[in-house]
A and B are shown apart, each in its own frame.
Chain A
Amino acid sequence: MSASPMSDFLPVTLTVNGTAVSRMVAPRTTLADFVRTDLQLTGTHTGCEMGACGACLVLMNGEPVHSCLVFAIQADGAAIETVEGLTERGAIEDLQRAFHERNALQCGFCTPGMLVTGHAILEKGGLPDREHIRDALSGNYCRCTGYEAIVDAIERALREREGCA
C-alpha cells in the first residue's frame, strides 16, 4: 500500500528495456509521459490518453498495457519494455520485416502499439485465424491502413514462426 499526495515527488525504480532506472516522479505522471519525457523513449505515443487507441502500449512484466493508464509510480519494481527495447534486442525483427514488406503502416504513429500487440500475439503462438488476429487488435486504432495489411503482416510473421511460411 502506498498513499500518494498528488503534489509531492516520489521515487520510482524500475527496469526499462533491460536497464535499471531510478527517478523522482510526480504521482500524476503516467508511465507514457515518463518513458517519453524523462527517458526520451518517444517511440511510445499517446493518441487519446484514455486507453482507447493503443498507441501507447508497452510491455509491463511481459504483458501489453496502456502506458497512458498506468502511473509511473505504479510501475515501481516492474520490467517495462518499449518498442525501442523490442527492436534493439531483435525480438520483433520478423514482425517489423513483415510490416515493412506488406506496407502495414503509413504515418507510423500507431505502429509501435501495433507491434506490441503483434508481439503479444506472436508470443502466444499458434496460428490464430484472421478473425482472431482482428480481435486481438481490437484495441489498436489505425486511421491510415484500414487494418488489412496489419492483419496480413501479423499472419505472415505467425506462419514464419510456426515454420509454415
Chain B
Amino acid sequence: MEEARAAFLAVDGDASYISGGQSLVPALAMRLQAPAVLVDLSGIADLRGVELQGETLRIGALTRHADALTHPLIARHAPLLNAAAPFVAHPAIRNRGTLGGSVSLADPASEFPAMMLAMGAQMEIFGEDGFRRVPADDYFIDLYQTALEPGDILTALYVPSVGPHHRWAFDELARRRGDYAMVGAGILAHMDGALVESARIALFSVGSTPVRAPGAEAALAGRLLDAKTIADAQRALDDDLDPPDDEHIPAAMRRHLARVLLGRLLQRLGETP
C-alpha cells in the first residue's frame, strides 16, 4: 500500500488508482481523464475479504459488486447492500466493479455510496498518517469530492451489523434497468413492532453528493409507522433536498419522485415483519 501511495505521489498526483476500472476506463477511453500513471490496487491482499469483526462487518475495498449480491455475510449483516446490488449497472459490470471503487468515486447517482450513509458505515482510509476511519456522514463532501486526500487509498468499509430489530428497504426509479436512477433511496430503521425508534434514510441522484434526510428521519423517530407518519416524513423530506434543476429532470420532479419513493419504501417497511 505504501508502494502504491509512493507511485501515486511520485508524479505529483497526475495518477489514478484503478481497481475494477468500470468507471475509470470509460473516462480514459473518452479522453475525459489522461493521468500519466495508473496505479493498480487489485493485487493488494489487505484490500480483499469480507469478515465479521464483533458487531461490525469489514468489507475490503476490492470486494466486487457481484459479491454484494451473493456473499452470505453481506446478505446477513449489511442487507441494504444486498438489496441495492441488483440495481447497480449490469451483471458484467458487477463482476468487475468494486465497492471501494464506487465509494471512492462517490458518484452522487450511485447506489453503494448512498447506502454507506444509510447504514452509518465508516470508511477506512490509508494515507499520510497511516490508517484512519471516517464516518459516512463526514465522508461525502461535494461532487466527486470525499474525505480522500490525493494519494489516499480507501481500504475497507466498516458496516454496523443489523440486529433483529432492524428493518430496511431499498428501491430506485430508473427509466431502464441498470440506468442511473432518477431518484433512489435506502432506509435502515430500528423498529419495535410498528414503532420507529430511529431511522437512517439516504437518497441518491438528488444532489451533488449522496444525501441523508434528517428531516424525514426526525419525522419518523418515535412514531408509529402509519399513513400519517409516512405523509409527515414525505413532507419533511422536502427540506432535506436541494436537487439540481435540469431540463430533463427538473428539480420539482426529483422532489416529487423522492416523495413518492420514500412513501413507497416506508409502506414496504411497515408491511415487512
Interface residues, chain A, with chain B CB atoms under 8 Å away: 1-6, 27-28, 30, 49-51, 54, 57, 60, 63-66, 68-71, 73-74, 117, 120, 135-136, 138-139
Instruction: Looking at the assembled complex, report how far the CB atom of A30 sits from the nearest CB atom of chain B, in whole angstroms.
Output: 7
Cα A150 to Cα B196 with chains together (Å): 47
The interface size bin for chain B is: 35 or more
CB of A69 within 8 A of CB of B40, answer no
Cα A74 to Cα B24 with chains together (Å): 13
Which secondary structure characterizes the binding site on chain B? mixed
Give the nearest-CB partner of B34 in chain A. Answer: A6
Segment touching A, from B76-84, B90-98, B133-141: B90-98
Q: Which of B34, B37, B96 contacts A3 (CB 8 A)?
A: B37
**B15 interface residue (CB < 8 Å to A):** yes
Q: A69-B96, A135-B177, A139-B90 are in contact. Are A1 and B41 (CB under 8 A)?
A: yes
Instruction: Looking at the assembled complex, report how far the CB atom of B19 sits from the nearest CB atom of chain A, in whole angstroms.
Output: 10
Give 19 A-B pairs besides A3-B7, A50-B29, A138-B90 with Cβ atoms closer than 8 angstroms. A1-B43, A3-B3, A4-B37, A4-B38, A5-B36, A5-B37, A6-B36, A50-B30, A63-B95, A64-B91, A64-B92, A66-B92, A68-B25, A69-B25, A71-B25, A117-B92, A136-B91, A139-B89, A139-B93
Q: Which of A1, A30, A49 contacts B44 (CB 8 A)?
A: A1
Cα A69 to Cα B22 with chains together (Å): 6
Q: What would 12 A/B residue contacts be, using CB atoms closer than 8 Å?
A: A1-B40, A3-B4, A3-B39, A4-B38, A5-B37, A6-B35, A50-B26, A69-B26, A69-B96, A71-B38, A135-B177, A138-B90
Instruction: Looking at the assembled complex, report how far the CB atom of B160 sits from the nearest CB atom of chain A, in whole angstroms.
Output: 30
